[in-house]
Structures are given as C-alpha cells and as structure tokens.
C-alpha cells in the first residue's frame, strides 16, 4: 500500500540565486506547474476505439503495461472479463463505475492516475448515459481532495485532467442543461482552497462558454443566485474566478463570448437577483463583479479593456434613457469601483467617461438648482464619486489640461447646498495640490453658501484647504480670483463668531457662568475659526478682533483654578496660542509695543507649548530665523538686550528640561533672539586664524563669535530641532561634543551655566539612546567644572524628577487625550492640537542617566552627601525627617522593573565613593543596605550592595569578601557551600 512517504518531493534544478544547485520546490511552486489545459492540448486523441472494443478496454490494456500498483492490478483482473465489448461495458456500467470510485482513495495513490483516466474514458463510451453518474463522481473527487489530496499537486493535476476530459467528451449533452452541471459541482467550485477553485473554474468555464446563449444566461443567473443566497468568502472567490475564466481568452485577450457575458452581468435582472428576500444582494453582486473586473484589469492591457468599458457605458446610457435610476446607481457603483483599480491607469481614453459625467451634471445637478431631491440624492453622490475617480486617473497620466477643463465643466456641482457637496469637497481636498488650487474659487464659493447651515463642517474644510495649500507654498495666491462679495458670508460669520466668543469669555472671567456653556464641540469650532481667520480676512483689515480675543483669553487665564468653566486651563492656553499665531499671520504687526505684549504672554504662559510656539513663529517672521542670522550684525529687541536677556534666561531656564519636546524647542527659538553674553578669553586661548584656514576647519553658526566663545543656545536648538535617526545621530553627537569642549575650555559665560544644565538634561528626554551617553558625559563635565553654579539647580531638578517618578501617573507630559468615539473631525483635530502626542523618555530612564552622570564624578557626589543620601533614602521610600527603622518605608514606591533598574544605578554610584563613613547619616544608609537589600533575590543587586558595604571597610566583613561573592553567584554557590567551613578552627 502506498503511503505519503512514497510521495516525497524530489529535488529540482535551482533557478533562483544561491549556491545550492538543486533544491526542493515549495508547494506553491509545484501548484504553479500544474497544467490542466486539455482543451487546447496538442496531444493526439484517439478518434475511435479498436475494432470490436471500447475506449474503456483500450485504456485498461494500455495502463496495464504502464502501472503495476496493487489496487490497479486487482481492478484490472476484476474488470477485464466485463469490458471485452462495448455492449458489455453498457451492461455493467454500474458495477464498473462503483469499482472505479471505490478506489479513489489516498492510500491507493499509485493507482489514482489510471483510475482517473479510466473514469474519463468510460464517459466517452457511455456518453449521455454517463450524465446520471456525475453527482457520484463529483462527490468522490471532493472526498478524495478532503482526505488530503488537496496537498498533493500531482494528484490534483490528475483529478482535474480527468474532470476536464469528462466535460469535453460530454460537451454536446451537458450544454443542454448547464444548471444541472453547476448544481452537481457546487462543492468542488466552492472548495476552501483557492487553487482548487482555480482549476475547477477553468474546467467549468469551458462548458459555459460553449453553451447556447439561453443556457449561458441561466448559468450566470444560477451562479449569481448562489452567491446572493450565501455570501460566504469561499463562495465569493469561487464565483469571481469562474466569471474571470469565462471571459478570459488566450493570449491576454477577451474570449469571443466575453461581450455577451458582460451584457448579462450588467443587465438589470442581475442586480435584482433574489429580489427583496436578500437585503445585501445588490452589494454582494457589485462586490463580486468589481473583483472580477479587477482581475481582468490586472491581466489585460488597457486597449483590450475597451470592450468592458464600452459595455458599462452602453448600459449606463440605456438606464438613463429608460429612467431606471436604481439600475443606474448600481452601474455607477460598479464603474466607480472599477475605475479606482490601479489609480485609473487601466483606462485608455477618458473622454467617453467625461462626456457622460457632463451629461449627468446637466441632467441631475443643474435642474436641481440648489437642493437635490431625495430620489436623486444617491445618483448625485455616485456622480460626485465618479468625478473624483476621473481626477485621480487624469492625474496618474499627468493630464493637467483635461483636469482644468473638467473642473470648469463641473462648476454647477459647487452650487449644491446639501451634505453631498461637503463630502465631495472633503475628498477633493485630499487630491493633488494642483487640483486643489485650480478648484479653490469654486470650493470657497460653496463654503460661502453653506457656512450658515453647516458651520462645523465648513470650518473644518476651510482649515483643511488652508493647510494643504500652505504645505505646498500656494497659500499666497489663496484668495486670487475671489471677490469680497463672494466671501461675504464667511467674513461675517468669522467676525461675528470671534466677537461672540469675546463676550462669552469675558462673562466667564467675571464669574457669570449662568448664561454661558462651553463644551468640546464649541471650543473646537472656536479653534477652527481662529485658524481660518488670517487666511480668509483681508490683510488690510484691522486685527482688533483677534487682539480683543487675546486680551480676553489672557484675562480669563488669570483665574487660578486648574479648570475654568469645566475646561482645563491647558485647553484655554492652546486657544490663546492659536490666537497669537493667527494674529501675526495677518502680517500687519511690527510695533515695539505689540512685540513686548507678545513676549509678556510667553513669559506668563511659559508652560504652554502652543503659546511658546506661536511667539517663536512671530519672532522668526519679524526678525528672521535665528539660524540664518549673523549674530554680529543682528539688532536685538530692548527686551532681549544684554541686561534684560539675563532675566529671560532665568524665566525660561526650567523649560529646557521639560519632558515636552515642543516646549523645549519653542523656548530655545525664543531665547536664541536674546543678545549673547560674551565670555572673554586670553590671547593664548584664541585659535589661530591661519590654522583654521589651512586645516579646513568648518564652524557651526553658533561658533562664529571668535574669541567670545560659542552660542550654546543655538547649539542646543540644533540638537533639539534635528530629526533623530541613525543617519543624523552622528551630527547630533558632534554638537553635544562641541558643548562639552566649550565647557572644558571655558568658552561659555557663567550666565549660561544654569540654562545649559537644563538644556543637557532636556536631551535625555529625546527617546534616542545614542544621545544619552554623550549627554551624560557632557553633564558630568558641566557639574565638575561649575559645581558652585549648577549643583543646587541639579539637586532641585533631581528631586522633582524623583517625585514625579514616585507619583501614580509618572508618564511624561504631553500625552494625547482620548478622543470621544462619536466626535466629529473638527473635534478630533482640535483634540490632537490641544493635547499632542509625546514620545518622551520615561522618568526612570532619565533618573538612570542623571545617576550615570554622577558616576563619572564620584568625588563631587561624595563631597555633597548631605543632598545625595536624603535623595537616595527618598527613592527607597523613606521619610527623611522621621526615619524610625529600616522597615519603615513605603512599599508602594519600591516596585517594578523600572525601580529596580534605577536602584542598580544608585548602588553603582555609592560603590565608587571612597569614604562612606564620612557620609551624612552614614549609619542609617549602612543599615538599610545591610538589613534590607543583602537578602534580595536579585543576584546583581546583592552583588552591588556587597560592593557598597565593602567601602566601609569593616573588619568583620572584608576577610569574607570572596566567600560572600561566591554565595551570591549561582555558578559558585554549590561549591562554596561545600568548601567554606564556619568552624572556630577555620582560618579565613
């Protein structure tokens, strides 16, 4: 008996790259090599049996010479007496077929090929009488595949060659009732494996293509009813592949019957199969037809597909003429889905489609005037979708002239006043910037008509329009071609909304909350209005409305509560930032008084990234980007000249160690406009000019001060503003090294030391580990060289970071808030603006980096144990003011993998110190290490604790150092327990 071991694949020549010459083929490769094209085979077919014999007997004798498997030999011996003549075959046809089918088992794999071939030859003898056996044969083939033959490519090929020969031999009879054949083969056609469906469809399509038109119609309806009745994934794929093979001809062309099949698939009755009995019937039919057309588009050239497009166009014309709008809607859905394939590149000529869309506009959109009737709303939606598809296709061919012509023809679309045009504009704004710019006048006209009825949606679309054009530097010509009258409603709405909100905010400020209500949707609308304002209002208009709004928000934020009118203070600050940003975008701000006011807001709301970013944008727009300016010839504001710059550095210093990157970058952009403080150097420290020239030394813009040192603010800004990646990491590390060398060389003024400390700590919050070690080394040198200036600030920040780490919610600032499930797009955008996402380094990692910096300067840390030891005890969960015993600690503060990682860094720091006996609270520290941590189950922590205890150099401990290390090490524990004697006589 044959087993699966007999079917082990053999190696074949390796045609892919590699050193191995022979390899085993994968299952998919073996499936691809299966060839079942019996209809176009050049193999000679025997026209008649031998004289006095039958086809079955001739093949039986032939295979007797070719196959000696046990199952086939037994069949041969049993059947040979019964098939000597054709009358005998006809007489014993039932027993012959039963014997054949009984041997269709996987265990008889070596006999399957002759058995399957004999089954096909029997159909040639029985002809019409064989049709009654088709159900049994199909079920036997299905059972054979299910038993494991579907994983054997050779057996699959044999099965479907046999089935294809049966259909070919009985074609004359089967085409009279193709529905019967489809019923018989339903389990094989919808077999779960795709390749079985592929082979079955190839065989069945031969029969359908050769059937009379009426039988083909019945067959198509039968297939579509099957999928509508049970829209399962396996059935959908089976129908798709069958329809594809029916229409697909040789040599990448359509079959001659494809035109008739396409007409059947697109006629009205096809979409009405099942009637009202199946709710999703139409959608299922459209889905299947779309997938079928997609496969045809993938295999055929665009010119060959003209047959398909012409069929759709003709059907659409007929449905319009017959006013069958339900059929038209289905056809448009099918056309839209098909056009989207490959971005419309499968259409060789768009003109017929454009002409039909033009006629649709005249028929369905122009007569409807302003409001579309309910009956035609679905058709109008489909027409608008088709327009978008046409634009995508034309853009794929880069046919800009035709796009311009289409947009001109489609102008009436923008006069609609319903949700359809809003959806159309929303999708239009996602297209190419050229398309958006070319249609901006029509879009603004539509927005002007709809601003009063759909405020949220229109404001969102105007924001999107401005954002897209601004990204592509097209915002300058934004309002070209529009008139003041054409935007009068938008102007009136924006002005009125701003004035109304000023009144609301003033009422809240004065405590009058009864007549005011603020929710997320209203605030989102206000934010959208603020963003639109500078783009939609003429630059010559007075910006007093925004000025009043800024003053009102400033007054409101003077309230000390964290929540104002049910809205967080952070949200109100984000609105203030948006108002400042829009204020300077109006372009008519240049006075010193306005600048002082803007800077005052930045100082007042220094914790708001939105306010800081807006102020930084303002300074860059008025005084130029700082990275492009020459600091020697740059003029400074009175607020940022030398004397007042010191105050500004002190006010904004803490921002540079904020976990929010946006706050750090915006703060540095503002501070870079301050006048630099010179660091005077001796003549010996100045680099010779000739050396710089001959060695080709290239300086960073921040190092252009010659003997006056370096501008650390510009260096910090370059570090923070550079997008972090593997390719840019070297550049950033070099910038950190420049700061480190400047500190060592004394090229930085003492004024900058505190803010430089904050800036280096802020680098740790960049979630990019390549920067942490260079920043740690730079921080260590900064502390070592300037202990008196920075140590107090370092300890203060370390304590704040430690408190935040111990807090229940120790995530870095700037985490995005959750968006309500049912929120609109404008609310989502406002929420993401007010609470942007942040990917800052966790506080545990920052603490570890700070401790690693101290490890590089242990002498500094040791000499300041009065601050270090209390911080360590606080980290361990103790109350420094009331340390009663080693066990009196907060266990909730000492949990987790992150806490243990920071603990190891603490222990690494203490073991580097030389004289712990002189520590502040030395005995308490020693007791904690000895009693609490020496019995830790973490061997690494135990070893580090032992290293720390050994620094006390106690006589009772030092002699046993190696023994204790061996006990801690799991590798040496067993041996140490055996060899270390604790008797009095034992000498260490």
The 10s digit of each residue's pLDDT in 160-178 is 999 999 999 999 999 999 9
Burial class (CB in 10 A: 0-12, 13-18, 19+), 44: exposed
Q: Residue 6 is encoded by which pair of tokens?
A: 């007999």
Q: Do the Cβ atoms of 100 and 119 come closer than 8 Å?
A: yes
Residue among 883, 875, 935 nearest 905 (CA): 875
The better pLDDT of the pair 596, 631 is held by 596
SS3 (DSSP) at 254? strand
Alpha helices in 863-938 (DSSP H): 865-875, 897-910, 922-927
> Rounded to an integer, what distance in angstroms lies between the CA atom of residue 574 and that of residue 834?
6
- Per-residue pLDDT band for 477 (boundaries 50, 70, 90) equals low
The residue-averaged pLDDT of 282-286 equals 91
Beta bridge partners of 248: 254
* Residue 146 confidence class, pLDDT cut points 50, 70, 90: very high
First to last CA, the chain: 77
Q: Which residue has the tokens 């710089």?
A: 692
**Stretch (H or E) spanning 510:** none
What's the CA gap between 506 and 720, in Å, rounded? 38
pTM for the whole structure: 0.79
* Rounded average pLDDT over 485-512: 88
Position 684 pLDDT exceeds 70: no
| Residue 646, both tokens | 């010191």
**Taking a C-beta distance cutoff of 8 angstroms, is the pair 756, 791 a contact?**
no
- Pick from 486, 474, 493, 483: which is nearest to 533 by CA? 493
CB 615 within 8 A of CB 649: no
Higher pLDDT, residue 625 or 437: 437
In this structure, the chain runs to a length of 988
**For residue 750, pLDDT beyond 80:** yes
d(CA 287, CA 337): 9
Cα–Cα–Cα angle for 494, 499, 500, rounded to 5 degrees: 95
* Pairwise CA distance, residues 507 & 73, whole Å: 102
pLDDT tens-digit series, residues 202-249: 999 999 999 999 999 999 999 999 999 999 999 999 999 999 999 998
Structure tokens at 339: 């056009």
**Contact between 395 and 439 (Cβ < 8 Å):** no
How far is residue 702's CA from residue 715's CA, in Å, rounded to a whole number? 6
Nearest alpha carbon to residue 707 among 746, 758, 671: 746
- Tell me how far apart the alpha carbons of residues 418 and 378 are, in angstroms, rounded to a whole number: 12
**In which band, very low, low, confident or very high, does the pLDDT at 767 lie, cut at 50, 70 and 90?**
very high
**Residue 699 has what pLDDT?**
53
- Tell me: pLDDT of 23 over 80: no
- What band does 273 get if pLDDT is binned at 50, 70 and 90? confident
Residue 192 is classified by DSSP as S
pLDDT digits (tens, 9 = 90+) for 817-863: 444 433 468 898 999 998 888 788 999 999 999 999 999 999 999 99
Alpha helices in 672-786 (DSSP H): 689-694, 712-721, 726-745, 753-763, 772-785
d(CA 643, CA 677): 10
Whether the CB-CB separation of 173 and 127 falls below 8 Å is answered with yes
Note the pLDDT of residue 895.
84
Say which residue, 74 or 675, is predicted with more confidence. 74
Is 58 in contact with 128 (CB distance < 8 Å)?
no
User: What's the Cα-to-Cα distance from 463 to each of 308, 440, 447, 475, rounded to whole Å?
Assistant: 41, 13, 11, 12
Residue 24 has a pLDDT of 76
Q: Are residues 813 and 838 in contact, defined by beta-carbon separation less than 8 angstroms?
A: yes
Give the pLDDT confidence score for residue 688 in this predicted structure: 47
Supply the pLDDT for residue 525: 92
- List C-alpha distances in Å: 784 to 54, 219, 691, 732, 744: 105, 89, 30, 23, 10
| 83-115 per-position pLDDT tens digit | 999 999 999 999 999 999 999 999 999 999 999
The answer to which of 118-132, 344-358, 701-715, 719-733 has the lowest mean pLDDT is 701-715
- Is residue 640 pLDDT above 60, yes or no? yes
Find the range with the poorest average confidence among 344-358, 490-504, 576-590, 652-666. 576-590
Contacts of 3 (CB under 8 A, 6+ apart): 107
Q: Which of 524, 535, 523 is nearest to 581 (CA)?
A: 535
As a whole number, mean pLDDT of residues 705-715 equals 68
pLDDT at 488: 87
Mean pLDDT rounded to a whole number for the chain: 85
Report yes or no: 905 and 852 within 8 Å, Cβ to Cβ: yes
871 vs 585, more confident:
871
CA-CA distance, 73 to 64, in Å (whole number)? 7
Handedness of CA 886, 891, 895, 898 (dihedral sign): negative
pLDDT of residue 279: 61
């Amino acid at each position: 008996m044959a087993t699966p071991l007999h079917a082990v694949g053999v190696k074949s020549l390796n045609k892919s790259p590699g050193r191995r010459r022979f390899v085993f083929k994968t299952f998919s490769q073996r499936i691809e090599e299966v060839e079942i094209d019996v209809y176009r085979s050049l193999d000679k077919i025997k026209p008649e049996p031998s004289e006095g014999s039958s086809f079955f007997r001739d093949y039986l004798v032939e295979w007797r010479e070719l196959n000696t498997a046990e199952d086939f030999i037994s069949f041969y011996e049993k059947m040979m007496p019964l098939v000597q003549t054709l009358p005998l075959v006809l007489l014993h046809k039932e027993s012959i077929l039963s014997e054949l089918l009984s041997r269709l088992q996987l265990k008889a794999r070596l006999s399957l090929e002759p058995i399957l071939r004999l089954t096909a030859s029997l159909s040639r003898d029985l002809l019409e009488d064989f049709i009654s056996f088709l159900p049994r044969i199909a079920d036997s083939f299905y059972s054979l595949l299910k038993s494991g033959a579907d994983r054997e490519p050779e057996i699959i090929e044999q099965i479907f060659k046999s089935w294809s020969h049966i259909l070919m031999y009985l074609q004359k009879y089967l085409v009279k009732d193709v529905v019967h054949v489809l019923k018989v083969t339903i389990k094989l056609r919808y077999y779960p494996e795709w390749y079985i469906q592929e082979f079955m469809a190839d065989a069945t399509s031969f029969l359908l293509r050769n059937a009379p038109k009426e039988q083909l119609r019945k067959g198509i309806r039968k297939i579509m009813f099957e999928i509508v009745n049970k829209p399962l994934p396996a059935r959908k794929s089976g129908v798709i592949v069958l329809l594809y093979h029916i229409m697909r001809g040789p040599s990448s062309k359509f079959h001659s019957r494809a035109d008739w099949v396409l007409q059947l698939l697109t006629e009205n009755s096809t979409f009405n199969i099942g009637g009202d009995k199946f709710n999703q019937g139409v959608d299922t039919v459209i889905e299947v037809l779309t997938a079928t057309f997609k496969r045809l588009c993938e295999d055929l050239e665009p010119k060959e597909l003209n047959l398909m497009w012409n069929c759709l166009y003709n059907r659409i014309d007929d449905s319009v003429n017959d006013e069958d709008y339900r059929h038209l809607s289905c056809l448009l859905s099918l056309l839209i889905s098909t056009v989207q394939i490959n971005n419309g590149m499968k259409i060789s000529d768009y003109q017929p489609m454009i002409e039909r869309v033009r006629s649709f506009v005249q028929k369905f959109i122009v007569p409807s005037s302003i409001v579309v009737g309910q009956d035609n709303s679905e058709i109008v939606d489909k027409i608008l979708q088709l327009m978008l598809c046409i634009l995508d296709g034309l853009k794929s061919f880069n046919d800009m002239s035709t796009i311009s012509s289409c947009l001109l023809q489609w102008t009436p679309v923008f006069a609609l006043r319903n949700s359809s045009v809003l959806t159309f504009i929303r999708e239009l704004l996602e297209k190419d910037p050229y398309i958006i710019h070319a249609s901006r006048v029509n879009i603004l006209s539509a927005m002007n008509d709809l601003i009063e009825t759909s405020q949220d949606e229109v404001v969102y679309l105007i924001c999107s329009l401005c954002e897209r054009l601004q990204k592509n530097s097209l915002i300058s010509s934004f309002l070209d071609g529009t008139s003041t009258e054409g935007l009068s409603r938008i102007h009136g709405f924006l002005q009125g909304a701003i004035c109304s909100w000023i009144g609301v905010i003033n009422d809240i400020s004065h405590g009058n909350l009864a007549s005011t209500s603020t929710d997320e949707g209203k605030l989102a609308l206000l934010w959208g209005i603020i963003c639109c304002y500078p783009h939609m209002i003429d630059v010559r208009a007075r910006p007093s409305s925004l000025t009043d709004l800024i003053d009102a928000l400033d007054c409101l934020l003077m309230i000390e509560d964290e929540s104002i009118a049910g809205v967080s203070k952070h949200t109100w600050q984000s609105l203030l930032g948006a108002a400042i940003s829009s204020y300077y975008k109006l372009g008519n701000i240049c006075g010193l008084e306005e600048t002082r006011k803007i800077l005052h807001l930045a100082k007042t709301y220094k914790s708001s990234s939105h306010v800081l970013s807006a102020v930084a944008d303002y300074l860059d727009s008025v005084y130029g980007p700082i990275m492009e300016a020459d600091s020697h010839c740059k003029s400074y504001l009175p607020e940022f000249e030398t004397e007042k710059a010191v105050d500004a550095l002190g006010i904004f210093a803490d921002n540079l160690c904020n976990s929010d990157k946006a706050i750090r970058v915006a703060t540095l952009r503002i501070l870079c406009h301050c006048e630099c403080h010179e660091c005077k150097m001796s003549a010996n420290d100045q680099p010779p000019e000739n050396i710089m020239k001959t060695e080709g030394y290239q300086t960073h813009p921040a190092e252009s001060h010659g003997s006056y040192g370096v501008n650390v603010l510009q260096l910090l800004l370059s570090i923070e503003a550079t997008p972090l990646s593997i390719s840019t990491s070297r550049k950033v590390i070099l910038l950190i090294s420049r700061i480190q060398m400047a500190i060592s060389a004394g090229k930085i003024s003492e004024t900058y030391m505190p803010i430089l400390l904050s800036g280096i700590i802020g680098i740790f919050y960049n979630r990019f580990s390549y920067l942490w070690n260079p920043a740690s080394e730079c921080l260590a040198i900064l502390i070592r060289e300037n202990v008196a200036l920075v140590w107090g600030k370092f300890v203060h920040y370390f304590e704040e970071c430690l408190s935040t780490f111990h807090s229940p919610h120790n995530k870095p600032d700037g985490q995005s808030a959750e968006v309500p499930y049912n929120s609109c797009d404008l609310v989502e955008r406002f929420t993401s603006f007010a609470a942007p996402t942040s990917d800052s380094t966790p506080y545990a990692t920052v603490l570890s980096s700070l401790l690693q910096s101290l490890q590089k300067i242990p002498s500094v840390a040791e000499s300041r144990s009065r601050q270090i030891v209390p911080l360590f005890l606080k980290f361990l969960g103790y109350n420094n003011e009331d340390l009663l015993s080693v066990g009196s600690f907060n266990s909730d503060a000492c949990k987790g993998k992150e806490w243990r990682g920071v603990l190891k860094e603490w222990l690494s720091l203490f073991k580097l110190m030389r004289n712990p006996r002189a520590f502040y609270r030395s005995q308490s520290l020693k007791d904690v290490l000895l009693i609490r941590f020496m019995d830790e189950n973490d061997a690494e922590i135990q070893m580090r604790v032992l290293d720390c205890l050994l620094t006390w150099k106690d006589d009772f401990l030092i002699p046993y150092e190696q023994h204790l290390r061996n006990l801690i090490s799991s590798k040496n524990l067993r041996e140490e327990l055996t060899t270390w004697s604790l008797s009095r006589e034992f000498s260490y």
